[in-house]
Amino acid sequence: MKGLLLAGGSGSRLWPMTAAVSKQLLPVYDKPLVHYPLTTLMLAGVRDVLVIATPDDLPRFERLLGDGARFGMALSYAAQAHPAGIAEAYRIGRDFLGGGAAALALGDNLFHGSGFTGLLRDVVATLDGATVLGCQVTDPERYGVATLDADGRVVALEEKPAAPASPIAVTGLYFHDGTAPERVAALRPSARGELEITDLNRSYLADGRLVLRELPRGMTWLDTGTPEALHAAAAYVEVVERRQGRKVGCPEEVAWRLGWIDDATLDRHADAAPNDAWRRYWRGLLAVGRR
């Protein structure tokens, strides 16, 4: 399975912070925002990822992430000239995917919690059509909303409904089989001129091939699209890291724990770090070992 990391958009709700830089490059506590969805894809076992961003921002992402070798990955890049909907990622990434399945992560979403890696690996192993992750929220009108039957099966999907029929929001992490680009090619833009991810998911629902996996209580999903949400995400990460002494969303650590890079490589990252706090952290990991 390959990955699509959508880091485009105008970030208008975060203006003027985004007047000169992508929102996915803004800090969430001690890391750029894009590190969090990148590590989500890594935890799903995805090592080959296409980063999609605006033409102006692409060089900044390449400077930050490089070709992915430091994480034991392969990263490539493509431009989204204008915000034209989440589903457009499949049009842009069609050749990259080569007919295979994909995990599509939005660049402004953060996931964290015990058991998350196991959930992701199970989704990848059992994918047959499309799988989305659902989360109960207090403001479902801001998101795509799934209505479930008594057996937990999706019976309806709505995009930002004024009167949601359900509190279950569809999160910014989607898994689709190799038919996704063809399905996107058949979509018509919505009233706001975008290729809607909800419409893509509806096409799978119509075929009886859409599964929703609801995040359990204790697992956190944060959307950082507003100043308040960005601040809340930073506060959440700070609390977890200060309390546990472990980083959230650190791609070098995730790569090391997955065995994608070895001890010597992580030690070289520590040597090269211009920040003593990061040097101490990575060397502390090496001292304790993987566990």
* CATH code of the domain covering residue 196: 3.90.550.10
Indicate if 51 and 136 belong to the same structural domain.
Answer: yes
User: Domain residues for 107?
Assistant: 2-246+254-259
- pTM of structure: 0.96
The pLDDT of residue 200? 97
Q: How many domains does the chain fold into?
A: 2
**pLDDT confidence tier of residue 192, bands split at 50, 70 and 90:** confident
114-146 pLDDT, tens digit each: 999 999 999 999 999 999 999 999 999 999 999
Is the per-residue pLDDT at 290 higher than 90?
no
Q: Are residues 259 and 253 in contact, defined by beta-carbon separation less than 8 angstroms?
A: no
The pLDDT of residue 289? 85
Indicate if 179 and 273 belong to the same structural domain.
Answer: no
Indicate if 80 and 215 belong to the same structural domain.
Answer: yes
Give the phi and the psi of residue 191 in degrees, each rounded to 5.
-60, -25
Please give the average per-residue pLDDT across 31-54, as a whole number. 98
The pLDDT of residue 152? 87
Indicate if 103 and 191 belong to the same structural domain.
Answer: yes
Please give the average per-residue pLDDT across 38-44, as a whole number. 98
Indicate if 76 and 139 belong to the same structural domain.
Answer: yes
- Residue 127 to residue 112: CA distance in whole angstroms: 22
The chain-wide mean pLDDT, for the chain, equals 95
Give just the sign of the alpha carbon dihedral 129, 52, 250, 30.
Answer: negative
Indicate if 278 and 227 belong to the same structural domain.
Answer: no
**pLDDT confidence tier of residue 286, bands split at 50, 70 and 90:** very high
- Residue 222 to residue 18: CA distance in whole angstroms: 19
Is the per-residue pLDDT at 27 higher than 90?
yes
